[in-house]
Structure 1
Amino acid sequence: MSRTTDTAMQAEAAFSPVVTSLLGTDLYKFTMLQPMLHSMPANQAEYRFVCRNEPGYPLSEIREEVERQLAHLCTLRFTEEELRYLGGLRYMKSDFIDFLRIFQLQHRYVTVAAEGDHLVIVAQGPQIHVMFFEIFVLAIVNEIYFRRLATPEVLSEGRRRLREKIALLRTVGARRQNPFEFFDFGVRRRFSAAWQEEVVATFAKEVPEFFKGTSNVYLAKKYGLVPIGTMAHEYLQTFQAVGVQLKGFQKAALEAWVQEYRGDLGVALTDVVGMDAFLADFDLYFAKLFDGLRHDSGDPVAWGEKALAHYERLKINAHTKRLVFSDGLDLPTAIGLYEHFADRIQTGFGIGTNLTNDMGLPTLNIVMKLVSCNGQPVAKLSDSPGKTLCDDETFLAYLRQVFRVAAHP
């Protein structure tokens, strides 16, 4: 056997895949993909990876391993058992399950490069294919990055912090008018797949009265939990580029969602162009049809008060609605928000990094966002500074003008 062949075999034997199932992604990738398949299957889109903070070592150093992981990802297919599970969710339609039966991520649609110390990852092609890369790319980058930093001491610290979270939950007192409920939203920035599973399994066993589900469809299936998720920014942003007037894109997106799901999956995301602009479009029709709203940027208390005031103006009983908070939460913050709102409206808390990557190590602030669709730029005008991702300043200025949103200083 040649030395080259021997080295290749050793490398293959050492390869440990980050992703082992296409089910191991956020539910909302499926719930957004279904209406896009039905109403806009020809869309062409570009998604781009960005690290918003300074990593402990250059991400360019993991480029080759990320490439290997993506090559493996593109060999995976849904199993019949996984498709039966998805088909058992009442909002998943049979033709969509048939599409997933033949679905396979295509390596030619994703590129990985190093530019200096930075990692550049772009997924470009048919949107109904490339949109599925997002969560997997982020999970792969995170896990490969943290494999270098994983030690028995780090895992021990993670377990200690997990025990502290459970102890804190057990101090939550008597219920207010509505119960405290939280969910795992931590696929994309997790320390590892194994650690996310340990966290989810531990919460499901120890505090089932509070822990009500996970966005990770694979873990929801494995542990009999509720898969959680509706829509993300990319869904609404897509409607900025699909033939409606820009000022009407939110209403068009919400209407398409209503027609697709007809009462299911009724939590709407509010911050693509800011809460004020969202509420201007979220009229009585939508406010009655949607079960609630999701917060993902800006001051959560101010946001929640705006939502409550909006329901009051529309003469809708807020006790029949839900506010879901999901912006950089930890459990103490979630409990504080619960205590503020829980006697006036139902609440839920999607917690990501602080559940699945609280190991005592600095975390990566990474995203992979839709930046163009059908050759046109798309953007989010977040309620938080630093969350906008768009290279086209002309489009950003126009978007701000249409929705009367001031630029962050």
Structure 2
Amino acid sequence: MVDIATRVYNHHWKIDPIVRSLIDTDFYKLLMCQSVFRNRADTQVTFSLINRTSSVPLAKLIDEGELREQLDHIRSLSLSRGESTWLRGNTFYGKRQMFRPDFMEWFEALRLPAYHLERVGDQYELTFEGSWPEVMLWEIPALSVLMELRSRAVLRDMGKFELQVLYARAMTKLWEKIEVLRSVDRVRIADFGTRRRHSFLWQDWCVQAMIEGLGEKFVGTSNCRIAMKRDIEAIGTNAHELPMVYAALAEGDDALRQAPYEVLADWHEEHEGNLRIILPDTYGTKGFLDGAPDWLAGWTGIRVDSGDPAEGAETAIRWWEERGENPRKKMVIFSDGLDVEKIVELQRQFAGRVKPSFGWGTLLTNDFRGLVPEDRLAPFSLVCKAVSANGRPTVKLSDNPNKAMGPAEEIDRYKRVFGVGAQTEMDVFV
């Protein structure tokens, strides 16, 4: 097992670049990338870093030269032969050759495009522009770099023994969570923690702990490189990015209203089974389900990613019942700001009514709360989102208005088109 504390103490070593591979990313990014490559390859997009926790001054903590060095390293990466073989030949979600030959040929030749980095006050402005399939693959590595450089900045002045004690406490903290989850009947948990992890080495350690501690209750990881390395399932379906860009490209209000369903129609052609998971909250869950075509009710499940998770699950159950579907056969994936207490509560509330599953993210792979003075390693909310498509702004409404993004006038338009009424504000933890 890697001695993480020693590696952190010597973090300037070249053996520890933050992002080590183009598949050190979430599985859903590759699935979405293939879909975009097939259906919208010529779309030009801009992605931008957004620090929703302004109290964390990234530009004061992170040296710009070090940040550029890590980003430049990512641009030098390409798929290794072993990674290509794994993607081409492995079975994902019961399907062999998940990734088509034309997509793999493109991916094997890919180098990520240029970035734009500028310091603005105490924050960094980091943007990526170009064709959608290329630019979208910057999101996860860019977030991983910023998150880990922030961790390294906080830990830089710690001594060897102090670091050993810190990581021993963090390991104990996670293992105590695992012990709680062990006792929960039929719980199913996946690691969704790549984008806001403390570090790559720490995420890998957390996954190994989950494998040993939870056995079959741990169903896999979203991180492709770790899935390949540890020979476990790669987990993930689709994300808000697809409807956000499709909606931005829509001509007129009627086309805008149909854009989220157009996304899933394209997805329906390509995937089946447990990859047919609806993410309904981009422009409000209730309105999305009320207007959904009947064929979507036959999909395998729904992911609840904003708003009150229990309320989201109840909304889905009512919708399935109204459409003549049996909710007990449907999967509900909870994935918003989870920790052990909420996982246990939701499992007990919905077990037997649906098939609950949990995508455990930041508080699995980055819970160092209370372990350093002034809580300087506490998680914070950092995202990298598509902000424009073919020159048009993107919009996300969410079931939590505090997660909304886009120009104010466009947000108002989208609320009108999608019939979004009053919403309950909830704190955005991550």
TM-score higher than 0.5: yes
Q: How does 1:8-407 map to 2 (within 5 A)?
A: 16-62=16-62, 63-87=64-88, 88=90, 89=92, 90=96, 91-106=98-113, 108=114, 110-150=115-155, 151-172=163-184, 175=185, 179-243=186-250, 245-263=255-273, 265-288=275-298, 290-360=299-369, 361-390=377-406, 392-406=407-421
Give the aligned residue type for 2:154: L
**C-alpha spacing 1:275/1:140, structure 2 compared with 1 (3 Å):** same
The 3-state SS of whatever aligns with 1:17 is coil
**2-structure distance, mates of 1:58, 1:209:** 39
C-alpha deviation, 1:263, in angstroms: 4.5
After superposition, the CA RMSD in angstroms is: 1.8
Residue by residue over 1:94-120, the C-alpha shift from the partner in whole angstroms, topping out at 9 and shown as x without a partner, is 2111111111112x2x11111110111
Residue by residue over 1:379-399, the C-alpha shift from the partner in whole angstroms, topping out at 9 and shown as x without a partner, is 111111321121x22211111
The 3-state SS of whatever aligns with 1:186 is coil
The 3-state SS of whatever aligns with 1:18 is coil
C-alpha deviation, 1:284, in angstroms: 2.1
**2-structure distance, mates of 1:243, 1:359:** 43
Matched pairs, number:
390
- Higher mean alpha-carbon deviation, 70-79 vs 93-102, is at 93-102
**C-alpha spacing 1:13/1:149, structure 2 compared with 1 (3 Å):** closer
The 3-state SS of whatever aligns with 2:216 is coil
Moved runs in structure 1, 4+ residues, more than 6 A?
none
Instruction: Give the TM-score taking structure 2 as reference length.
Output: 0.87
Residue by residue over 1:217-258, the C-alpha shift from the partner in whole angstroms, topping out at 9 and shown as x without a partner, is 111111121111111100111111334610111111110110
Note if contact 1:155-1:359 (Cα within 8 Å) is conserved in structure 2.
Answer: no
**2-structure distance, mates of 1:34, 1:239:** 15
Give the aligned residue type for 2:328: H
**2-structure distance, mates of 1:128, 1:149:** 34
**C-alpha spacing 1:343/1:14, structure 2 compared with 1 (3 Å):** closer
C-alpha deviation, 1:14, in angstroms: 5.8
**2-structure distance, mates of 1:149, 1:157:** 16
Give the aligned residue type for 1:374: N
**C-alpha spacing 1:220/1:13, structure 2 compared with 1 (3 Å):** closer
Note if contact 1:369-1:389 (Cα within 8 Å) is conserved in structure 2.
Answer: no
**1-structure distance, mates of 2:286, 2:400:** 13
Note if contact 1:60-1:117 (Cα within 8 Å) is conserved in structure 2.
Answer: yes
Instruction: Give the TM-score taking structure 1 as reference length.
Output: 0.91
C-alpha deviation, 1:283, in angstroms: 3.1
Give the aligned residue type for 1:253: V
C-alpha deviation, 1:261, in angstroms: 2.0
Identity %: 32
**2-structure distance, mates of 1:314, 1:353:** 35
Note if contact 1:59-1:145 (Cα within 8 Å) is conserved in structure 2.
Answer: no
**C-alpha spacing 1:14/1:25, structure 2 compared with 1 (3 Å):** closer
The 3-state SS of whatever aligns with 1:77 is coil
**1-structure distance, mates of 2:392, 2:57:** 34
Residue by residue over 1:5-45, the C-alpha shift from the partner in whole angstroms, topping out at 9 and shown as x without a partner, is xxxxxx98668410111111000110100011011110000
Give the aligned residue type for 1:144: L
The 3-state SS of whatever aligns with 1:207 is helix
**2-structure distance, mates of 1:366, 1:75:** 24
Note if contact 2:27-2:235 (Cα within 8 Å) is conserved in structure 1.
Answer: yes
**1-structure distance, mates of 2:248, 2:315:** 28
